[in-house]
Structure 1
């Protein structure tokens, strides 16, 4: 499983015939499924109370009831479907069922049920590639005698992604609490501030299940290469064995060292409106060019921009993901002469900026190319109070991207500007050198 080598190669390594090795492999697999997996995977290998004890601080404080007695607290579970690629089949019925028009591949889908700390509760499947995550969940909960209703109780929490949106109603009918990122209103280009903030509260918890999905593909080559159709009937057996091995030997995910500070920031800003977004939209700043003067970020005008430490940036973004993305955005937006261009709103009327909170703030604008779509450019606005330091010096920020109105954390586009002006240009860090290296590598590729 770890190397993904063929039976012929492994048989030659063990100096035996391929048929003998195949028989040994079958016996070993059956022994693991009977004697090893049941004690480390499945609804019978742990109790609901053990799931509750594995709740991390952030999801429990946001969606649970941490002050209740242990037997009344809510179990928080994250669900997600992953996939295993396999060869194209000559059976046309199976070919249609296993072809994903989303991934453009032949694949089958296992479904994961994961605790907050990354421990895998159960794995179901395999499910057809044409079956959505929502349909898989609905089929699971429609069985009123099923194990999921025996294991969970009404009030327990499921943290899901948008692919489960058609399961929200059925799950709530059974009394479960469901949380997932919000979707845009019809004919709107952005999430509202309230929607963006609620979505961030979900994603700050839900990343755990994505990490577990990645561990399957990283640690077991057999699960990341195209599975042989001849061995496809054993695919789910190998997946369950891999899940049991991860539960048994992999380090669990622990609480973030800044968890309590994250929660304080979320509680402080969850209901805060994005006044800068309202100002930009009301005055149509995206179409105003004369009011913003382009200049290099290393010019004297930006010397008073407050400096940030790495810890302050993590608290500003509520995580490290946006900082990692900022390095890559910076590398893409460097000018040929090595300068990073920012627009300063020097000609924006003072009374308009004072509408934010009555102070004379700097208004900075930048344009960020979307990393997904070449035709999209996002405008980033940051209001700065130069007399303050750290996070308090940036009281308002707004981006034109999908989640740019959030006041809980920030998007990667906003973080790119703060990361460079407030941190990287002062540190001359290896991070900024790596970003410039990415830019040179991209320029060296003659992509047509």
Structure 2
């Protein structure tokens, strides 16, 4: 019998020492009768023959296991004694069985080895396995001769002696570089059977392209051997994504050959030449976030999203990529630079810039603009819920109202004087004194652009009222189906001729009040209502100013671009809807409602100081006033910013205050104090528009707050 390292011979010896004859095996037991399985096993074990089923018993371990498994079956059938009392070897427990044999697998290739084909792993091999294959060998692990020969071959090739070659004239020494060079550069393990990043096996793996390997080395100083594979999810836009870079495992040094070194050098040379030939490059994403916002008006992520959306309508050309094409268009819109200047900084021809500008405009109008602008891109309910401030809803629609509130106004896009006389007359604005066209802007109370209509001509036939009347009568973009009877439109005084149409359509229109014939100043009620309307309507002026931040639309456009002005304005508004924050945002619904209630309450109050000035005829009385420098004004209240905002109900007046104060920094101010009522002041304020005008202002105060005020300006009643 062969010697077994796990003590299997002792178990078999115990079985052999049982003095049981063939006749005794068949006595009083079915299991031990002649020809049964147990008897056959024991006899086979004694004679070292084969089992009846033809399976060779190759080792003593197999014999014991075969007998043990059969005894377990018998024990489950007959548990009342029987042959187990006579044959105690049948009472083996599973814990008494010897462990399975170790087949001495190679730690590297997992191949079973014979005694003459293996060796124990030493320290040098352990370091080699850890450095190149990221395998941690343990004490007692073995390695096959084939893998050990590979280790020795690579170890011997690290340092080669110089080879001396003799020539007829003189003795010279030539040093040949080794096939593999060790570099102190982190590297991944080399394998094409599993992912080199997450170690996931195939088959759905892709070979890492040379461009990705070069980009990984340039950006992260990690070498990836040629032929390595990885999961497709690890690569995004020609680079390893952030998750892959976090999960990748590297060694401290790498082994590269001549071919790989030449490949890296050629790739680096190509990148350097491309960088030198292109002054402004959006493909390599080497620009910072502020650079993207300055050049394109979008953040880096938003710019990539726009390029991805337009990629189905654009294509790469030998002169420019899709990213460069979109960047040219956005840079021209944002900065207003000429085609010649753009061709210089992007290193493309002027004709290429012109074609790029036209291609991107068409791509935007195909899908992006219809999805983010127009009456059909958003429902009326969504406008009410997401893009209407509670301040406007509380002041004009009511808290429980279901009214959509829109603000309308036209903006001006200046154009060159046309050679077409008919268009020259129709585009000339007598109000501005120059040629222009007027897009009509429709936005919400948060500054969200609902639609851009037009552009319209600027002659006397196309004032704001005529444009709005045309919009409703022709049902542009099905506006009459979108607007309901209870909806509210905020307009300026230029739409006054369209009021009869609103009344017939039962649409509520709000605009600043008009000065009645013969009056020099608004009544207190009309002035307060104008203030409430202005509190809501200012948003459209800021929306128009946001459009003009794209400098191309604030410049005077050439006549050949007039047919596309509407597209440019719509593209800018769609980009603002998609990526820009709201111009007016509600931070707290309750605070908006409280401010609305406060303004409504103040608008219904009468101005007692105005009545006092008119009753006492304080405007014409001069002797009752004395100069403020002769009086002590220490009891005048000192208000902080929040208290001033409570008085003005906004920040517009506070922004103008510093400009008004500059008028009196170098000279004395015209401030007077009433001789009998020391808490009443009269101030003369220089008009900011006319040098020959000074406005009269009265203020009544006490030690803690401003009680009332009155000014002779037409709208300051």
State the TM bucket, normalised to the shorter chain: 0.7 to 0.9
- Cα distance in 2 between the residues matched to 1:269 and 1:187: 27
Structure with max Cα Rg: 2
1:41 equivalent in structure 2:
373
Select the residue among 553, 557, 569 that pairs with 1:227. Answer: 557
Mapping of residues 104-183 of structure 1, within 5 Å: 104-130=433-459, 131-143=462-474, 147-183=478-514
SS at match of 2:627: strand
The CA RMSD measured in Å over matched residues stands at 1.8
What is the CA deviation profile of residues 231-285 of structure 1, one whole-angstrom value per residue up to 9, with x for unaligned ones?
2211111111111011111101202665344223213222111121122123322
Picking from 352, 360, 363, the partner of 2:680 is: 363
- Contact between 2:395 and 2:600, CA under 8 Å: does it hold in 1? no
**DSSP-derived class of the 2:695 partner:** strand
Label 1:383 to 1:142 Cα distance change in 2 as closer, same or farther (>3 A).
same
Post-superposition offset of 1:135: 1.1
- Select the residue among 243, 246, 260 that pairs with 2:576: 246
Structure 1 residue aligned with 2:523:
192
Matched, 1:275 2:604: no
Does the 8 A contact of 1:335 with 1:341 survive in 2? no
1:349-389 C-alpha deviation (Å, 9 max, x unpaired): xxxxxxxxxxxx72111011111222322110011123xx2
Tell whether 2:351 aligns with 1:19: yes
Q: Which sits farther off after the overlay, 13-22 or 369-378?
A: 13-22
The reply to whether residue 394 of structure 1 matches residue 703 of structure 2 is no
- Secondary structure in structure 1 of the residue aligned to 2:418: coil
Secondary structure in 2 matching 1:183: coil
Instruction: State the Cα distance separating 1:95 from its structure 2 match.
Output: 1.6
1:144–1:84 distance in 2 versus 1, CA, 3 Å: closer
1:216 aligned to which of 516, 541, 547: 547
Change (3 A) 1:291 1:122: same
Partner of 2:693: 376
Rate the CA distance shift 1:267–1:14 in 2: closer, same or farther, 3 A: closer
TM-score by length of structure 2 reads 0.51
Q: Is residue 261–residue 315 contact of structure 1 (8 Å, CA) maintained in 2?
A: no
- Say which SS state the counterpart of residue 442 (structure 2) adopts: strand
Residue deviations 1:186-206, cap 9 Å, x none?
A: 111111100001001111111
1:100 CA displacement: 1.4
Question: Within 5 A, what are the aligned runs for 1:411-426?
Answer: none
Q: Kindly indicate whether residue 536 of structure 2 is the aligned counterpart of residue 201 of structure 1.
A: no
**What residue is the counterpart of 1:431 in the other structure?**
none
User: 2:631 touches 2:673 (CA, 8 Å); kept in 1?
Assistant: no
**Could you tell me which residue of structure 2 aligns to residue 237 of structure 1?**
567
1:81 alignment partner, one of 410, 414, 421:
410
> What is the CA–CA distance in structure 2 between the aligned matches of 1:302 and 1:158, rounded to whole Å?
47
Q: 2: CA distance between counterparts of 1:140 and 1:177?
A: 16
- Describe how 1:308-319 pairs up with structure 2 within 5 A: 308-319=639-650
Q: Kindly provide the CA deviation profile for residues 60-112 of structure 1, in whole angstroms up to 9, marking residues without a partner as x.
A: 001113224xxxx0000000100111112222221221121212221110000
Q: Distance in 1 between matches of 2:369 and 2:475?
A: 26
Aligned position for 1:416: none
Compute the TM-score of the two structures, normalised by the length of structure 1.
0.81
Structure 1 residues 62 and 345, CA gap change in structure 2 (3 angstroms): same
- Where has structure 1 moved over 4 Å in runs of 4 or more? none
* Unmatched segments (≥5 aa) in structure 2: 1-332
Quote the offset at 1:145 in angstroms.
7.7
Structure 1 unaligned residues grouped into runs of 5+ = 349-360, 406-448
Q: Distance in 2 between matches of 1:289 and 1:145?
A: 60
Superimposed CA distance per residue, residues 296-347 of structure 1 (whole angstroms, 9 cap, x where no aligned partner) = 4xx76210011211001001001010111111111113343xx544110114
Once the two structures are TM-superposed, the CA of residue 7 in structure 1 deviates from its matched residue by: 2.1
Task: Give the SS at the match of 1:301.
Answer: coil
- Partner of 2:514, secondary structure, is coil
- Residues of 2 paired with 1:268 and 1:238: CA distance? 44
Check whether the contact 1:333–1:368 (CA below 8 A) recurs between aligned residues.
no
